[in-house]
Structure 1
Amino acid sequence: MVLRGRDGALRDLSSIHGTYRAVQETDRAIRLAAAALQPLSPGSVRWLLDRPVSNSGRLAARLRELGPALGLPWTVEVVRNPDHELSETLEVVVSADSAILDRTRAWLNLAALALLGEPPPWLLELGGSGLDVEGG
């Protein structure tokens, strides 16, 4: 299930426990992100992954492997506190963390862009006047 918050950011519950594990959807998500970024012609893309999160090194390796093949030779760093770096940067940030979004200068709702062509089977809208559930 994907949740759309009142701020419009899309979130899922898969990483709520502070761990990461590769799932079948990992490569698909990376490919969807790349496809959404390509038309924007970003000057550079820098991924910051949270070092304390289990298996973040494996995700970093997969991103480094797929980036050039997808036409986006992005950089990937595994850092101790990406939240701090994202909150302090003057660059456009991609995150669904509301604490980061509240402090950043500009952000891109990449998940929403990536899922335009392939909406999730379940989308729970938390914004507006009430709860709306799409899917089946």
Structure 2
Amino acid sequence: MYIGELAALTGATPKAIRHYEKLGLLPVAKRKGNYRIYEEIDVQSVKMIRLAQAVGFSLSELYDLSALKYKNNRFPVEIAQQLIQKKNQQIIEQKEALSRLQEDLKELEDEIIQTYIINEIFA
């Protein structure tokens, strides 16, 4: 399949797909004349790259996994699972920080009400 079809199947732009290839996240595509030819495995790879980005992984983090894949001739599943667990822990910490921020906002609102509304009523 050509890059346009790969883009349509994955939601990635052709420019992004070429960028992934340039970074080494995708293997260099076979060529038919001036056109890149992609396979079904590339569809899955691009979908995984996009999903990983959507949940907060950077392209450099994905590159590290990709480099290990090519070095060891297999995808480093265990390392990927560790990175996913680490990302999940970061999300938990972010949720806790947001919860504290929400509490602080409520406290600020209460202070404003106490200072500017209730005190004015009794003044």
**Higher RCO (CA-CA < 8 Å; seq separation 6+):** 1
Is TM > 0.5 for Structure 1 vs Structure 2?
no
TM-score interval (norm. to shorter): under 0.3
Length-normalised TM-score, structure 2: 0.27
Pick the structure with more helix per residue. 2
Length-normalised TM-score, structure 1: 0.25
